[in-house]
Amino acid sequence: MLALVFMGVSGCGKSSVAAAVAARLGLVWVEGDDHHPASNIERMRSGLALTDADRAEWLDTLGDLLSQHQPHGVVMTCSALKQTYRQKLRACAPDVRFVFMDLSPDAALQRVQARGSSHFMPTSLVQSQFAALESPIGEPGVLQVDATLPRDAITQAVLQWLQAP
C-alpha cells in the first residue's frame, strides 16, 4: 500500500497539500509536526535550529508511524531535509515515496511571516532550513513540485504521478 511523505522547508505547504491528497485517496494523514518532542518545539520557539541529534527521536517516531500505517496506506508530512533523514524513513517503509515541495527562500519567509504566531517555527529559522536542505532530486521515488502553484494544481499533479506506471 502507499506510503507518501510530503517534504520541504517550513512554509512550503506540506500540511495543506498532504491533507488534500490524503482526503482524495481516503488515507490516514499524519502531521509530522504533531510528533515532535516538547523539547524540540520549545527549542524552535526560542529561535534555535534543531540539530541532527534533536531530530533523531522525532524521525524514529515518524518511521514507526510510517511502518504501522503502511499496510493500509498513509500520507505524512516531514521536512526530511537531509538525505540521511529520508534514508531513515525508507528503512521503515522501503516503498515510501516523497513529494518535494520546492520553494524559494523568499517565498518561504513570506509564508512563515504570514502564519504569525499560529505556528512554532519563527521566521528567524527559515534560513537554517535551507542551509540544512539536501535536495532529493535524483533519489528514487521523488516528485518535485513547485510549491507556489495552487494547492489543487499540486494535488492533481501528485495524484497523476501516483497513477503513472
Arithmetic mean of pLDDT, 81-104: 96
> Is pLDDT of 121 > 70?
no
Report pLDDT for 128: 87
> Which residues is 30 bridged to in the sheet?
76
Look up residue 39 and give its amino acid: S
> Is pLDDT of 31 > 60?
yes
Report pLDDT for 116: 66
Arithmetic mean of pLDDT, 135-150: 97
> Is pLDDT of 99 > 80?
yes
> CATH number for the domain including 43?
3.40.50.300
Report pLDDT for 65: 95
Report pLDDT for 47: 78
- Averaged confidence pLDDT in the chain: 91
CB atoms within 10 A of CB 96: 23
Report pLDDT for 56: 94
pLDDT: is 123 or 51 the higher one? 51
Domain hosting 91: range is: 3-163
Number of domains in the chain: 1
pLDDT: is 85 or 121 the higher one? 85
Report pLDDT for 119: 60
Q: Whole-model pTM?
A: 0.91
> Is pLDDT of 142 > 90?
yes
Report pLDDT for 117: 66
Chain Cα centroid distance, residue 163: 21
What 44-53 contacts at long range (C-beta under 8 Å, 24+ apart), as own/partner pairs, is 44/120, 44/121, 44/122, 44/125, 45/120, 45/122, 47/122, 47/124, 47/125, 49/125, 49/128, 49/129, 49/132, 52/82, 52/84
